[in-house]
Structure 1
């Protein structure tokens, strides 16, 4: 490594001296000009900028600046009087984070031998940034790197983790050495921003690896580590000069999530506990609320100045912060007041105040607050006794007329789940008179008399729990999921008094379904199959005969079990199909089984027993069944089961992979619900293992395409960018080239990998909806593929199915989880929006001259 550095050092010194200045450089702007490279295309006219010194992530927004072309050159004038980050395809590919420039900079960019050369005021920032990226990319091809696991995948062993740590230390050492060479040429602001950018990238990698080895739910985890071992590793690996500099040094760009996660790990370290030693074990801090208090107090104690201000504000305003995750009670109100009294920065206080106003408008909080109340036998009962249970809490008082009406409906619900120990019924009274309270319970007029009855210690409606939940009307019902979150529902539509509890029963069944997961079927050689199922993160492993196992069982949206025949073989799907008479397209279900089932039932695709009723019609799912939701596995099995049923009726199912399918196959689980990661740990596997090529669902997913042509329509999750179109590849060739990369995190960028990388590939592209894809480019794509329409998902642009470019482009991604769930029905040449009730709205008619139907 030392020899390598000395070889590149003369080049660094030479390039760092090229700082010729333009005489026409103006203050309050950055000027960038350059010659047009070979292969220049219209997309390269756009540069994207953002000002670095924003207060919160809500202020972060990319501005687009279009360059002016003249005599083989292009020039951008970027108005700014603050440090600004600049990026765009003229400079580098989508992976490039951008370059920090300051007001008054004037940069000239030249393409020499396929490399960029920079001159002008501020050029050293650009030279340094590109030099660091070039050198670090070259390290990825070294033999020592090739023996390591992919950077976002779990370490293959403890030895692999420690080798990764050594490799990252070498990268950081090289970064700091190169930066010292450039230090005299750049401002201190630019130095700190560039140093932060590159060190943060390395420390995030280290954090990612550590987060894998710290998980477990037995005394010794899958890496052979105890909590004591992890404390020692944390002290020696995670606490290092690079991470400490990042935690202590203020910087302008907003990226506090790394800092926040380190603060969370610090809490684990403080209590010497990084993972649970059994499924019933408790982690440090008795509730989510306690985590935030611990972190807030650590910030006040250990940070100073601007960094302290940002971290304290972040505790409140971020969507994953205290107000968004927990809500309000007297303790949190006191903590807010402490912040307002402590903070010295009005801009941050204003941001927190806006967040406070926003979150106070919510009814109640997202988590049930901590409480400890007395039951009718004098025993203490706390919210922790509801952990891993579905809880229905009824708030009432003696004399409440509505409570009398509610009691019979609650009895019906209780009877439905009388034998299910995973459901708990709790009644909390605001009666101040203890004797009156116990008498009302015995009489059973206001409550069912069953379940757990709790007393508010004579405080009634002034009790912290009642105030924290903003209970104002009685009776009030709260439904709590096993993680302690309050489940939102429409109070008017779901009032048990109106339907004798049928709607609430359905909702409780859905939550019970969420507690379950599986089965995951893994093929072990020719003779045996391993089946993994889970309940509350506890694993049930069965070893089955491969010859005798012809079907598996799973659950539907009503928590009912049904059988699914296993497919005899997995066949790669064709890429091109004839146009069917009718076709239903939807996307981005994201593990929401009730929504998926409702859309299919409401539009005549299936019946109540999950049978295919769509005849010779085609169902197209345009990607993203994975992530965010809690019934991903059940959704996948439903589509899997319907495939053979559809074929038998002359119909067909198309499952087109989206970016979240690819991410999960590659082991990237940023958006995955925690229950899936915990379940994999309980099985001493990784979630990637559960979807490996040895698994039934993994094999099935790998047989699918990322792009298909059905009749005159291209179906794709993200879109077909101009870059992909210029490759002149057929749909079949795109699928054949992309398939080997489904479960491989690419390194480098070639024409082939371009097909699936973020930003420009069919699974990721969003350009249609961000105004950087013209109708002319869309026409070029349609012409090449001899198609009339493209149908995508991936990007929500409306609460309904949307059509752009006069019916050439349709988007099927809607806010399913928010209740705005729709699909696209194509019947002949007519295109309809349709909802869960099957209500059709015509939006495009190819039979008419004026095709587009105004809404």
Structure 2
């Protein structure tokens, strides 16, 4: 049961907001568990093998895996989480330091923050660098990615509309060369944001025009077939790496029966604008619509304190069936902020890693999940050092 994993620990109040002036601790080279190596015997690792388009099944022999939850447009907190994970340099150069590590981000990069495209640009840059070193970066799409492609902008921060306007102009400056503009945006975005702050005024009519311009830019970028929607289409909604399943909300037996690779393909197909309309058989309802869809499901991540014993047993049975169908040992999800920090439930068959780190959510201290040789543990920053909270052996 979950109590055997984390409930017996006395955890610090990780959900309390960080002070704005607090900076992320830099990775200590003396912390051996976080130093990626080729293998325990010093030999070269076998190559990473990816199946599916978008990636669905990944074999990453011997790799250290680190998972980062929802970041919601907060670039500073995202960088802090990546530094804690040991995959991002702390010198501001945005260099991959993870070697052969596999990084996965669990979705909800969009909404509630100002620097969404910058985070996506950073992750893509890190993926290119990681591949050159034998590692990899993966993302899965969350409900806020699918909402934005649907045109649902209810949770968009005003600064994010401005970022869309600036990025669309930057893309035009690059003669719509997507790769150049997208990869270059992480370096350009800070300057553009500072320029916006300097030119801000409070004249109501002009702000309204700016907002309309931002809405139009976002619609162009994120509509099905738009350039940013096509970028998101590169990512899955469900990803299995070795013996671990990663998705934003939660996977159920009916999803597996429908076909994980089929769902990933249909969501990607829709984001690329290749479905005729919302009534098309190819519209990915089972993955993106409804409380029990892959990106919206909270069955596993909800607080267990309000559940009766029979409900807990039923949920655990559903989870075990899902994992058995996939040949997996555990599932990692985001979506629901965990006020006690990253934790596991149901005999540690489910790991919940959304800690609400974005300033637009809880502004909590970033935490990441590390998996090495099927052993999972939580890593969080403590000002000037790193603290290991839990290790669970699945073998």
- For normalisation by structure 1, the TM-score amounts to 0.31
Match of 1:764 among 291, 296, 299: 296
The structure richer in strand per residue is 1
Query: Is 1:824 matched up with 2:369?
Result: yes
Alignment partner, residue 334 of structure 2: 793
Query: Is 1:574 matched up with 2:55?
Result: yes
Distance 1:649 1:716 in 2: 25
Paired residue total: 283
Instruction: For structure 1, list consecutive stretches of 5 or more residues without a partner in the other structure.
Output: 1-487, 495-502, 507-570, 848-855
Tell me by how many angstroms 1:693 deviates.
Answer: 6.1
Distance 2:67 2:18 in 1: 27
Q: 1:65-80 to 2 correspondence within 5 Å?
A: none
Alignment partner, residue 264 of structure 2: 735
- SS of corresponding position for 1:775: helix
Tell me by how many angstroms 1:838 deviates.
Answer: 3.9
Distance 2:283 2:233 in 1: 21
Distance 1:489 1:574 in 2: 35
State the Cα deviation string for residues 763-797 of structure 1 (Å, max 9, x = none).
11111234566111111111111111111000123
Q: 1:714 to 1:628 in 2, by over 3 A?
A: same
Q: 1:467-486 to 2 correspondence within 5 Å?
A: none
Q: Is the contact between residue 72 and residue 110 of structure 2 (CA under 8 Å) also seen in structure 1?
A: yes
Alignment partner, residue 36 of structure 2: none
Q: Is the contact between residue 286 and residue 294 of structure 2 (CA under 8 Å) also seen in structure 1?
A: no
Alignment partner, residue 389 of structure 2: 841
State the Cα deviation string for residues 559-579 of structure 1 (Å, max 9, x = none).
xxxxxxxxxxxx943210114
Match of 1:604 among 86, 97, 122: 86
Q: Is the contact between residue 369 and residue 376 of structure 2 (CA under 8 Å) also seen in structure 1?
A: yes
Q: CA RMSD in A?
A: 2.9
Q: 1:664 to 1:752 in 2, by over 3 A?
A: closer
- For normalisation by structure 2, the TM-score amounts to 0.65
Q: 1:89-104 to 2 correspondence within 5 Å?
A: none
Q: Is the contact between residue 18 and residue 364 of structure 2 (CA under 8 Å) also seen in structure 1?
A: no
Q: Is the contact between residue 54 and residue 265 of structure 2 (CA under 8 Å) also seen in structure 1?
A: no
Alignment partner, residue 811 of structure 1: 352
Tell me by how many angstroms 1:683 deviates.
Answer: 6.3
Runs of 4+ more than 6 Å apart? 748-751
Distance 1:713 1:661 in 2: 22
State the Cα deviation string for residues 660-680 of structure 1 (Å, max 9, x = none).
011112211111102333564
Query: Is 1:706 matched up with 2:237?
Result: yes
Q: 1:844 to 1:606 in 2, by over 3 A?
A: same
Q: Is the contact between residue 301 and residue 352 of structure 2 (CA under 8 Å) also seen in structure 1?
A: no
Match of 1:630 among 88, 110, 114: 114
Q: 1:107-122 to 2 correspondence within 5 Å?
A: none
Tell me by how many angstroms 1:833 deviates.
Answer: 0.5
- SS of corresponding position for 1:816: coil
Higher RCO (C-alpha under 8 Å, 6+ residues apart): 2
Alignment partner, residue 774 of structure 1: 315
Alignment partner, residue 650 of structure 1: 134
Tell me by how many angstroms 1:737 deviates.
Answer: 2.7
Tell me by how many angstroms 1:845 deviates.
Answer: 1.6
Distance 2:266 2:227 in 1: 23
Q: Is the contact between residue 709 and residue 731 of structure 1 (CA under 8 Å) also seen in structure 2?
A: no
Query: Is 1:718 matched up with 2:199?
Result: no
Q: 1:635 to 1:675 in 2, by over 3 A?
A: same
Larger Rg: 1
Tell me by how many angstroms 1:594 deviates.
Answer: 0.8
Q: 1:578 to 1:684 in 2, by over 3 A?
A: closer
Match of 1:753 among 279, 285, 289: 285
Q: 1:838 to 1:651 in 2, by over 3 A?
A: farther
State the Cα deviation string for residues 596-615 of structure 1 (Å, max 9, x = none).
11121233201121111111
State the Cα deviation string for residues 611-646 of structure 1 (Å, max 9, x = none).
111111100001100000111121111101111111
Instruction: For structure 2, list consecutive stretches of 5 or more residues without a partner in the other structure.
Output: 1-16, 24-51, 166-211
Tell me by how many angstroms 1:748 deviates.
Answer: 9.0
Tell me by how many angstroms 1:588 deviates.
Answer: 0.7
Match of 1:591 among 35, 51, 73: 73
